[in-house]
Amino acid sequence: MNAPAQGAQQPGPEAGAGTNAPGDAPAGARHDPRVQALALAALGVVFGDIGTSPLYAMKEVFSEAYAVTATHDHVLGAVSLVLWSLMLVVSVKYVMFIMRADNRGEGGIMALIALVLRGTEAPGDAVKRRLLMILGIFGAALFYGDGAITPAISVLSAVEGLNVIAPSLSSWVLPITLGVLTGLFLIQRKGTGTVGRLFGPITLAWFLALAIGGIASIVQTPEVLAAAHPGYGLAFLVEQRFSAVFVLGAVVLAVTGAEALYADMGHFGRRPIRIAWFGLVLPALMLTYFGQAAVMLRDPTAIRNPFYLMFPDWAQAPMLLLATAATVIASQAVISGAFSMTRQAIQLGYCPRLAIVHTSENEIGQVYIPWVNWMLLVAVIALVLGFQSSGALASAYGIAVTGTMAIDTVLAAVVFRRIWGWSYLRTGAFLTVFLAIDLAFFGANTLKVLDGGWFPLALGLIGFTLLTTWKRGRELLMGSLRESAIDLKPFIEGLIRHPPSRVEGTAVFLTADRDGVPHAMLHNLLHNKVLHERVFLLTVVIADVPYVAHDQCIAVEPLGNGFYRVLIHFGFRDIPDVPAAMARLPAVGHPFEMMATSFFLSRETVVPTVRAGMALWRERLFATMARNAGSAAAYFRLPPNRVIELGTQVEI
């Protein structure tokens, strides 16, 4: 039955913003071994994307398509823009501000949407609430576009080192890239736990190599350090005039992955991520970008691949191997993020149930979703074959990321004002400064639409259409079911006056409507003409918080005549294990025996109509999604031999 998962209300326990994330610790805990271990683990998962940007960011600034020559001032101006983009967008906006807007320790755009909706619950906020929800869902949909491009451009840019190291092997760049990416997606079903333990040390070696290579290059040309002055970047933009827009579209490649700091906060905590960023990642990135600029000052022809040419000949082959490993890790982080966000979207009612495989017995966040995995693989292969080089892919990269960043800024400003109580002046200052930066980057990337930027936008639009169609379709379906529903209280009173035959055992009827009679119960009485001696009317509620404590997740209300209303609350990152939750019924005074219990589900067959609701094509799309949705029994982890499913047709 679909109702409990998608049509469930979201009252849930309230949670304030700004609570400590799991890895947070007092200020004096910087040397805590646990915090240090989390900081090391965060290197691979959180910083993989932004950490591999040096492979292509500086090269793209001086792309032939932009006609920007590698003169002394141009090189200093470009690296100055990269430096200050990292400082303002990543260090200030995300690390100092947005990471504080957590939903019980969880970050990411889905958690931000939940906070925004909680802050716009006033009666007069209905229109604003809907607009912000649509904006947030579009930002989440754009993530899938980024999730396809990041593996393609990262691995391709690493393997392109063959063009520098062994030009005779250039024809092998695409086959090797496709082989690495295909292998990566094929092993997803095995889980990331075992490989994940290697991510931190490998990424640590990667950042240390970036720093060492950068220092060695800077020592040879120390004048490059003058680019730390922001005046070089501003002068570069003024001189380039219209071309400055294209330059910004390339500079933004250096900050792609910044949103991962916020999205993965729930896995590691705010403090470990901040320690890793300021203690290693930011210094390493600054050094490598300055090192690439230094090699271009010494040899302007190095713009063809300043990353690899920054290293001596003997180190280029090892760096190719290390870069390939680092980009695989970056890709893994994005793929895992797509799985995690899809699961959250299912829990919050924006996506139909899909088969979800939990790949770890200890880590709740490690999941594998086959459908998402194979769709991403198809998109990634299409990108590599269609664009054939990281330079061409760069034209498609950035628009999805900058769109998500701008949406993050708007939603965060709402949280700061409505939940934190910031003044209008303070909120306006935050919004003005950072939205101006985000829109400058986004505007620069809109010029890439015809050159490939349409691809992530198309993926985002498809994702947005699917998410909003499912959400709206569920609302219409629930409304139609309520119209034909029988009120529960008089129904129970009628059973007291005219009791049917009662049989031993317990029946659990899953329903999204707390006050109506479940359709499965009506069908059971109509066809079997019996009722169990104990009847639980179960509603699953997905709260707008990541986790709900076991001692708070279940509530039981006696309704008389052997009927009980049961509410089970799950967080949007909890595993919705109904039998495990029902096993806690004895703790609230209601014995429960699985072998004497039958679960009754109702599966609705949606019939599209021309009456008011959605456009007919969207109703047909929703009907198709509903037919292909996963089994409610499997989703709620119900034992197959205890489930009875009854169907009904519903017009929307």
| Separation CA 184–CA 338 (nearest Å) | 14
Joined tokens for residue 345:
């979207």
Read off the pLDDT band of 196 (50, 70, 90). Answer: low
pLDDT tens-digit readout, 600-618? 988 888 888 877 778 889 9
Q: What's the whole-number mean pLDDT along residues 367-376?
A: 88
pLDDT of residue 3: 38
| Global pTM value | 0.78
Reported as a single tens digit per residue, the pLDDT across 584-602 is 887 667 778 888 899 998 8
> What angle (nearest 5°) sits at the alpha carbon of residue 190, between those of residues 187 and 192?
90
**In this predicted structure, what is the pLDDT of residue 427?**
93
Average pLDDT, the chain: 83
**Can you name the residues that pair with 606 across neighbouring β-strands?**
650
> Residue 195: its pLDDT value, please?
53
Instruction: Identify the pLDDT of residue 1.
Output: 40
How far lies 389's CA from each of 161, 244, 385, in Å? Answer: 12, 23, 9
Q: Which position has the token pair 């392109």?
A: 160
What confidence score (pLDDT) does residue 64 get? Answer: 72
411-444 per-position pLDDT tens digit: 999 989 888 889 999 999 999 999 999 999 988 8
Task: Find all residues with CB under 8 Å of 475, minimum gap 6, and list them.
Answer: 7
Domains observed in the chain: 32-472 (1.20.1740.10), 486-651 (no CATH)
User: φ, ψ for residue 63 (rounded to 5)?
Assistant: -60, 145
The per-residue pLDDT for range 161-176, each reduced to its tens digit, is 888 888 888 889 999 9
Task: Read off the pLDDT of each residue in 514-536 and give the average, rounded to a whole number.
Answer: 87
pLDDT of residue 162: 87
Q: Tell me what pLDDT residue 361 has.
A: 54
Both structure tokens of 259: 């949103």
Tell me: the pLDDT tens digits for 44-82? 778 888 888 998 888 888 877 666 788 899 999 999 999
Sign of the CA dihedral running 305, 306, 307, 313: positive
Q: What is the pLDDT of residue 588?
A: 61
Return d(Cα 390, Cα 158) in angstroms, integer: 9
Checking if the pLDDT of 213 tops 90, the result is yes
Is 12 a residue whose pLDDT tops 50? no
508, 556 contact by CB (below 8 A):
no
**High-pLDDT (> 90) share of the chain, %:** 26
The CA-based dihedral angle spanning residues 453, 455, 459, 462, taken in that order and rounded to the nearest 10 degrees: 100
Paired sense of beta strands 367-368 and 357-358, if any = antiparallel
pLDDT of residue 22: 38
Pairing of strands 563-570, 554-560: antiparallel
Q: Residues 74-99: pLDDT tens digits?
A: 999 999 999 999 999 999 999 999 98
CA distance 534 to 261: 49
Each residue of 383-422: pLDDT tens digit? 999 888 887 887 778 888 888 889 999 999 998 988 888 9
What pLDDT score does 211 carry? 96
| pLDDT at site 413 | 92
Q: Is 171 helix (H, G, I), strand (E, B) or coil?
A: helix
User: Judging by beta carbons within 10 Å of its beta carbon (0-12, 13-18, 19+), is residue 122 exposed, middle or buried?
Assistant: exposed
Q: What single letter denotes the amino acid at residue 557?
A: E
Total Cβ atoms within 10 A of residue 89: 23
Average pLDDT over residues 258-277: 81
Give per-residue pLDDT as tens, 122-158: 666 778 888 888 888 888 888 888 788 888 888 998 8
Strands 554-560 and 530-542: unpaired
Q: Which tops the pLDDT comparison, 634 or 294?
A: 294
Q: Which of 323-332, 361-370, 441-450, 518-527 has the lowest mean pLDDT?
A: 361-370
